[in-house]
Amino acid sequence: MSAPSVTAFFDEATFTVTYVVADPDSAHAAIIDPVLDYDPASGRTSTASADKVAGFVGDNGLHVDWILETHVHADHLTAAPYLKEKLGGRIAIGSNVAAVQEVFKGVFNIEDLATDGSQFDHLFEDGDEFEVGGISGSVLGTPGHTPACITYVVGDAAFVGDTLFMPDFGTARTDFPGGDAGILYDSIQRILSLPAATRLFLCHDYKAPGRDEFAWETTVAEQRKANVHINQGVSRDEFVAMREGRDGELGMPRLILPSIQVNVRAGRLPEAEANGVRYLKIPLDAL
């Protein structure tokens, strides 16, 4: 199986990992889950994180075919439109984005939001195939954290979004609208059925108790053996009880309100008002 080169960019403000996955032979590449920096205290955005990714792409002469989202992120704004403008590539997400748009169109009262995913350049279904240069990719539907979560398998690497985290941390939460712990368990079984040596690249790392360094790469074999939430002995019912218990204790992500209203529009910021300023909405007592 072909091995793409994978370069990670970790955003410590949101604990998010952005990847550039490239075919070393053809220099074609995909960017996965890029971050637009956002400071909620000042309302300022910045492209510092995305510019590091763009700099790497430029320095290595890569040709970007795809900008891939694993899901509608609830903890950071996507820099997909900014990087598309700079580098090209098609912005893609799972087709179940429509269900997520439906829910949040209501929460944010975004009257003109189309709920068919048409803001994205391409919508992937479970089982679809695509290419990064000469390396073949495929899509696994892996809902549970959200209904639109997908995993991108590129050669021997799988970009699992928010499903599994590092073995010592466990799994993603399932308490967002449309989330479901049992469905996440089933999705994780699909990931764990990939070949044992498959490299798994995670969307986040929050460190685990006793670990000082951030980490985001593991393998199917390591996860099968050691994931604290899901290793071989854990049944679906046990997982659901554990996950729902833990979800009940988690606060909302710091950037959920700014993130979702932008990310359901494929990262396009709201139009400026007559004074030239763009505004985000804060729904009160709605989440």
Among 33, 37, 69, 162, binds Fe ion (CB under 5 A): 162
Which range, of 49-57, 79-87, 98-106, 248-256, touches ligand GSH by CB under 6 A? 248-256
Region label for 158, one of left (φ > 0), alpha (ψ between -120 and 50) or beta (otherwise): beta
- DSSP 3-state of 161: strand
d(CA 209, CA 117): 39
162 binds ligand GSH (CB under 6 A): yes
Tell me the residue ranges of DSSP E strands in 33-173. 35-39, 44-46, 63-68, 77-78, 90-94, 122-124, 129-132, 135-141, 150-154, 157-161
The partner in contact with residue 173, picked from ligand GSH, Fe ion, none with C-beta cut-offs of 5 to 8 angstroms by kind, is ligand GSH
CB 4 within 8 A of CB 31: no
Q: What's the count of helices (H) and strands (E) in the chain, helices before strands?
A: 7, 15
Task: Say how far residue 54 (Cα) sits from the centre of its chain.
Answer: 18
65 binds ligand GSH (CB under 6 A): no
- Considering only residues 203 to 242 of the shown chain, the ones binding ligand GSH according to CB under 6 A are 204, 206
Minimum CB distance to Fe ion smaller for 162 or for 205: 162
What is the closest distance, in whole angstroms, from the C-beta atom of residue 277 to ligand GSH in the complex? Answer: 26
- DSSP 3-state of 275: coil
250 binds ligand GSH (CB under 6 A): yes
172 binds ligand GSH (CB under 6 A): yes
- One character per residue 114-153, x = contact with ligand GSH (rule: CB under 6 A): ----------------------------------------
The partner in contact with residue 14, picked from ligand GSH, Fe ion, none with C-beta cut-offs of 5 to 8 angstroms by kind, is ligand GSH
CB 29 within 8 A of CB 22: yes
35 binds ligand GSH (CB under 6 A): no
254 binds ligand GSH (CB under 6 A): yes
Interface residues with Fe ion (CB under 5 A) are: 162
